[in-house]
């Protein structure tokens, strides 16, 4: 079969209550660059696109449905990191709210930690 629909990862959309607060968080704590920001064509939703190396990873959406329960935004989004121990220290210094503060090491040697974003979304830092 030569048909391939999926070409790669584009981004994860996360509904947020206050887009500026979330932009700051994803820039200052997660370390993403703000690549684009605008109001949706519906005139109501505010959108921001963040990523690295001009590649969008996260789309923040304000004004779609602010009443969604915590588990309705996204289950989690995972970011690759080079040194999970150093990142854990940096996150501690940033006073993030931890979900799983202890570094988990998987059978294949990969490591991860989980913390919350400003709207209670789950964020994972992952090291192969």
Q: Is the pTM of this model over 0.85?
A: no
Residue 7 belongs to some domain of the structure:
no
Q: Which residue has the tokens 């190396």?
A: 53
The pLDDT, as a whole number, for residue 52 is 96
Residue 98 scores a pLDDT above 90: yes
Residue 101 belongs to some domain of the structure:
yes
Task: Return the CATH number at 78.
Answer: 3.10.180.10
Q: Which domain holds residue 84?
A: 12-66+74-127
pLDDT per position as a tens digit, 22-79: 999 999 999 999 999 998 888 898 999 999 999 989 989 898 876 766 666 766 788 8
The Cα–Cα gap between 81 and 86 comes to 10
Residue 105 belongs to some domain of the structure:
yes
User: Strand pairing of 122-127 and 76-80?
Assistant: parallel
Name the more confident of 8 and 105. 105
For the chain, the domain total comes to 1
């Amino acid at each position: 079969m030569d048909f391939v629909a999926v070409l790669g990862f584009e981004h994860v959309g996360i509904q947020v209550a206050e887009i500026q607060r979330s932009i700051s968080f994803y820039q200052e704590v997660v370390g993403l660059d703000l690549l684009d920001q605008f109001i949706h064509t519906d005139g109501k939703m505010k959108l921001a696109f963040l990523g690295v190396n001009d590649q969008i990873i996260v789309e923040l959406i304000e004004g779609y449905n602010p009443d969604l329960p915590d588990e309705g935004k996204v289950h989690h989004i995972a970011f690759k990191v080079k040194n999970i121990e150093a990142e854990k220290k940096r996150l501690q210094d940033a006073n993030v709210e931890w979900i799983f503060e202890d570094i988990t090491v998987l059978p294949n040697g990969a490591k991860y930690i989980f913390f919350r974003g400003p709207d209670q979304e789950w964020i994972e830092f992952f090291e192969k």
